[in-house]
Amino acid sequence: MAARKAPAKHPPRKPTAKRAAPAKAAATSAKPSAPPTALEGNGKPLGSVLVVGAGIAGIQSSLDLAESGYKVYLVEKNPSIGGVMTMLDKTFPTNDCSMCIVSPKLVEAARHTNIELLSYSEVDKVEGQAGHFRIQVRKKARSVDLAKCTGCGACAAACPVDQRIRVPEPVPVQDDETVRKTDAILDRYPPQRASLIMVLQDANAAFNFLPEASLQRIGERLGLSFAEVYGTASFYKAFSLEPRGEHLVQVCVGTACHVRGAQRILEEFERLLSVKSGMTTEDRKFTLETVNCLGACALGPIVVVDGEYNGSMNLAKVSRLVDSYAKKEAV
Amino acid sequence: MKLSSAQELDRLRSELAGSNGRSEIVISADATCCILRGAKGVAEAFRTELQKAGLADKMHLRLAGCLGFCEIEPMVILKDQDILYQRVEPKDVPEIISETLLGNRVIERLLYQDPATGQRQARREAVPFYGKQNRLILGANERIEPVRIEDYIAIGGYAALSKALAMKPEAIIEQIKASGLRGRGGGGFPTGKKWETCRNAESEDGVRYIICNADEGDPGAYMDRSVLEANPHAVLEGMIIGSWAIGSRDGYVYVRNEYPLAVEHLALALRQAEEYGLLGENILGSGHDFRIKVVRGAGAFVCGESTALMQSLEGKVGRPRAKYVHTVERGLYDRPSNLNNVETWANVPLIIDKGAAWFASIGTTGSKGTKIFSLVGKINNTGLVEVPMGIPLREIIFDIGGGIPEGKKFKAVQTGGPSGGCIPENLLDIPVDYDELTKAGSMMGSGGMIVMDEDTCMVDVARYFLNFLKGESCGKCVACREGVRRMLQILERITRGEGRSEDLDTLQELGEYLLDTALCALGSTAANPVLTTLRYFRHEYEAHITERYCSAGVCKPLFQYVIDPATCTGCQVCKKRCPVGAITGEKKAPHLIDPQMCTKCGACFEACRFDAIARARIKEKVA
């Protein structure tokens, strides 16, 4: 992408490239030497300031500087400004609503004639010294015409690509019982990557889902990162990452069952249990799932409850089946 | 007992064959569907009743695997009397023993009844379902118990192996090539050629892998499950022969996790084969070593694709890769890997045993041997059929399958699973052949054959397959990930009654793009169900779009249920069954459905005994 050069045309004394984002240290250097005494000539401010990081601190600094007459370049690596504060509900210590504080400032920063926003950009290089910096900023490809974009968000909602794998932070989970059981499973297989799927299968069967502590333990023992274990577990349909209900209802939606009306059977289960396929009822009694084909097509439509096959299902049989399993609880 | 030479195996076989002089009762009892229908109970009843009648020593009870005719299971075959009893229940067993076994009388009501003519047949060969089949692979099922390797050896099992071990590997490959065997998993690649490439491929440390693909993902296909359940040794024998021909010491069977019984039988078969020295080190004293591991899949359709399957075997996420370098050259762990389908492996011992010329004499020019199909859906005789290549589809559906139940009209037959297509009635005379089916826009596939009648909406079928593929697409290539989803959106719009006139052209265009640009076979064939239904059932799409009507009564926004006041007897059954209270009417007076409240669940339609409820066009709303 075209490298954008921060202007160095304003000689001779420029204010320091001021670092504003408090948490984001390390990256660029800020020379503490010359203080921003840029009043010169007929008392007008001269030169420009670059602020790195458009969090609340960066925005406030930019606004103050802009108000005192400096041209401000506000660089932010994310596509939008606002930083962490926009994600918070309340702020310490006054318990004030954080959005109420920050949002007027966001608008102001965007509208201020003295502030040029460089969002979705990063500082690549800082050269020179206090008063005369030469800064290279890399603007990332946004592929959106900012002059026309109104920020309505409709494109983000319409985008069909949602392939993000949300990997939770591997916070070590203390669960000795799970680890002990997982170890027992791991002991049965050679400690190598090829064992992963088999181990996950056994763990899934033992716990009726894959608890996080178990996944972490598997990663440790097989020498894999948590992300690799999680990525594999979330790819295959046979694994559940959430606890399942006491009874597992699997409706076969193979083609043979489909043409024999499996869809209506599934809908009836959804209606009776008031959950959608893939969900667990609130009382944790039933989990409703679909399965692609059980290979017993002569008996379609088929429903398997806790491993027990029920063939030639119709709507009347569905309610009887649900009743019989719901009653089992009472006994 | 470990067998250390071919002679010892022959000796064991003659001992086993000689020891069994008792008359046989065969029950299809050790397969998933038969167990579902209570076959275990029937077997148990036979055991106790035979004991009671003092026949336990004279009779040999055989709990065989799948006998193919799922519709009439559990079935019992009395070998000496040559009688087949269908849908036997435990309470029928004492009668069978006293009447037929002791009294030599046939029990009429348990005989197979032709759904069309009402005629009853006692002999199995006379049953039309079996008449036109050529059960080369499935035929062994009734002669063995899947859990007994001795049964398999007694009927000549592993003879092909000892024959093969005496041959040069190249000679075996020549035999397979000459037989014309093509991959039964759907692709139809010549098996012999594959073996040859794998044998000749360079491997740095000499390691080559043999893989059996038992990840039978096509919904509506279950022949691989059945073969593994009923005759696991046939597959193992094929693999061992392959390992000798290709020069491999390590084999894998990748089997679907949804098939617990197949896994169980396979594991048992492996143990038994090792005990007899048919697997492991120095097989039958030949110096050849070969081991097989069973690996269970984890419910991902794409893992049936060879490169994805190998990724999964390595414990990784099953994503396919581009095949510039074939897996026979660099596959599992970057070593030459030969992957064949269950049915392909099961064919190998037959070819070695009976010769390539014999095998090549069955079938058509381009397709040799037999193919197993699972004939399912709206068909009278649901089951597994094994037919010679070249048989017309019509014969399979109407002669073997017995046509459509309840006198409904045939609409289409779907072959090849989500990668295949729907074949309409006017093309039913095309023969079963890899190339002919591809020409018709479908494909041989692994062998699912789903019959559809007038109550099946073809737009919905296309939507169903795309929905399936959307969930199973691994997301690696854009064409498949986005293309399938986009086509699905359009189809969903059509089934909701919001179709637009340009939709059909868009579908066609997207489908063709997908064909050209997707990375693996899952993506490049994903559009087939849409393209074939568009080609043969365009009028249905058009009716959905322009008339807003689904004649099959599947797409809920495009039809309504109405009660015919002339036929309705006012029995109130539908009123009681309606979950939303949309039906009103006094007893013995015609009822009425409130279309505003009706959720079109179909409960009333199912419950009505007088056919008074019909599906109808939604009338234009009067403003």
The number of C-beta contacts closer than 8 angstroms across A and B is 150
* Structure confidence by residue, pLDDT tens digits, B587-598: 888 899 998 899
Are B601 and A268 inside 8 Å of each other by CB? yes
Q: What is the CATH number of the domain that holds A286?
A: 3.40.30.10
Both A11 and A84 in one domain: the answer is: yes
| Residue B158 and residue B353 in contact, taking contact as beta carbons nearer than 8 Å | no
Dihedral angle computed from the Cα positions of residues A309, A314, A316 and A318, in that order, rounded to the nearest 10 degrees: 40
Please check whether residue A161 lies inside any domain of the structure: no
Both A98 and A228 in one domain: the answer is: no
Q: What is the CATH number of the domain that holds A207?
A: 1.10.10
Residue of A nearest to B298 (CA): A238
Q: What is the average pLDDT across B209-217? A: 93
Structure tokens at A88: 């918070």
Q: What is the average pLDDT across A166-182? A: 72
Q: What is the CATH number of the domain that holds A129?
A: 3.50.50.60
Query: In the 8-state DSSP scheme, what is residue A280?
Result: B
- The pLDDT score that the predictor gives to residue A153 is 78
Which residues from chain A sit within 8 angstroms of residue B489, using beta carbons? 160
Please check whether residue A241 lies inside any domain of the structure: no
The kind and range of the H/E element at A99 are helix A98-111
pLDDT at residue B342 above 90? yes
Both A81 and A19 in one domain: the answer is: yes
- The pLDDT score that the predictor gives to residue A329 is 59
Closest CA to B95 of B132, B37, B126, B53: B53
Give percent above pLDDT 90 in chain A: 31
Which residues from chain A sit within 8 angstroms of residue B301, using beta carbons? 292
Residues 69-88 of A with CB under 8 A from B: none
Query: Between A37 and A108, whose confidence is greater?
Result: A108
Please check whether residue A146 lies inside any domain of the structure: no
Both A225 and A266 in one domain: the answer is: no
- The pLDDT score that the predictor gives to residue A237 is 85
DSSP string, B220-240: T--HHHHHHHH-HHHHHHHHH
- The pLDDT score that the predictor gives to residue A218 is 93
* Structure confidence by residue, pLDDT tens digits, A184-218: 999 999 999 999 999 999 999 899 899 989 999 99
Query: Which among A184, A215, A235 is the end of a domain?
Result: A235
Q: How many other CB atoms are there within 10 angstroms of residue B24's CB atom?
A: 16
Both A104 and A210 in one domain: the answer is: no
Q: What is the average pLDDT across B494-504? A: 92
Are A296 and B312 inside 8 Å of each other by CB? no
Average pLDDT, chain B: 90
Structure tokens at B365: 């020019």
Which residue is listed with tokens 């181990």? A199
Its domain, for residue A182, covers: 176-235
Please give the Cα distance from A125 to A95 (Å, whole number).
39
* Structure confidence by residue, pLDDT tens digits, B360-397: 999 999 999 999 999 998 998 889 999 999 999 999 99
Which residues from chain B sit within 8 angstroms of residue A235, using beta carbons? 300, 317-318, 474
Query: Which among A210, A235, A260 is the end of a domain?
Result: A235
Q: Does A298 touch chain B (CB under 8 A)?
A: yes
- The pLDDT score that the predictor gives to residue B542 is 94
Please check whether residue A228 lies inside any domain of the structure: yes
pLDDT at residue B575 above 80? yes
Q: Does A284 touch chain B (CB under 8 A)?
A: no
Please check whether residue A9 lies inside any domain of the structure: yes
Residue of B nearest to A197 (CA): B315
Please check whether residue A163 lies inside any domain of the structure: no
Give percent above pLDDT 70 in chain A: 82
DSSP string, A236-274: STT--SS---SEEEEEE--HHHHHTTHHHHHHHHHHHHT
Both A9 and A136 in one domain: the answer is: yes
Structure confidence at residue A260 as a pLDDT band (50, 70, 90): confident
Both A46 and A115 in one domain: the answer is: yes
pLDDT at residue A18 above 80? no
Q: Which domains does chain B have, with CATH numbers?
A: 20-125 (3.40.30.10), 143-359 (3.40.50.11540), 370-453 (3.10.20.600), 458-547 (1.20.1440.230), 559-616 (3.30.70.20)
Structure confidence at residue A165 as a pLDDT band (50, 70, 90): very low
- The pLDDT score that the predictor gives to residue B528 is 92
Structure confidence at residue B19 as a pLDDT band (50, 70, 90): low
- The pLDDT score that the predictor gives to residue A258 is 86
pLDDT at residue A173 above 70? no
- The pLDDT score that the predictor gives to residue A44 is 67
- The pLDDT score that the predictor gives to residue A171 is 65
Residues 368-387 of B with CB under 8 A from A: 374, 376-378, 382-383
Query: Which among A235, A262, A279 is the end of a domain?
Result: A235
- The pLDDT score that the predictor gives to residue B1 is 78
Q: What is the average pLDDT across B192-218? A: 93
Average pLDDT, chain A: 81
- The pLDDT score that the predictor gives to residue A47 is 82
Closest CA to B221 of A138, A3, A294: A294
Both A23 and A126 in one domain: the answer is: yes
- Could you give the number of structural domains in chain A? 3
Please check whether residue A72 lies inside any domain of the structure: yes
Please check whether residue A261 lies inside any domain of the structure: yes
Q: What is the average pLDDT across B154-163? A: 93
* Structure confidence by residue, pLDDT tens digits, B263-307: 999 999 999 999 999 999 999 999 999 999 999 988 888 898 999
Are B383 and A298 inside 8 Å of each other by CB? yes
Both A10 and A133 in one domain: the answer is: yes
Structure confidence at residue B127 as a pLDDT band (50, 70, 90): confident
pLDDT at residue B423 above 90? yes
Both A127 and A215 in one domain: the answer is: no
pLDDT at residue A2 above 50? no
Q: What is the average pLDDT across B125-148? A: 90
pLDDT at residue A11 above 60? no
Angle at B384 between CA B430 and CA B346, to 5 degrees: 95
| Residue B412 and residue B458 in contact, taking contact as beta carbons nearer than 8 Å | yes
pLDDT at residue A17 above 80? no
- The pLDDT score that the predictor gives to residue B24 is 85
Please give the Cα distance from B279 to B275 (Å, whole number).
8
Both A95 and A209 in one domain: the answer is: no
| Residue A98 and residue A91 in contact, taking contact as beta carbons nearer than 8 Å | yes
Both A7 and A124 in one domain: the answer is: yes
End-to-end CA distance of chain A, in Å? 70
Are B219 and A300 inside 8 Å of each other by CB? no
Structure tokens at B473: 């697409």
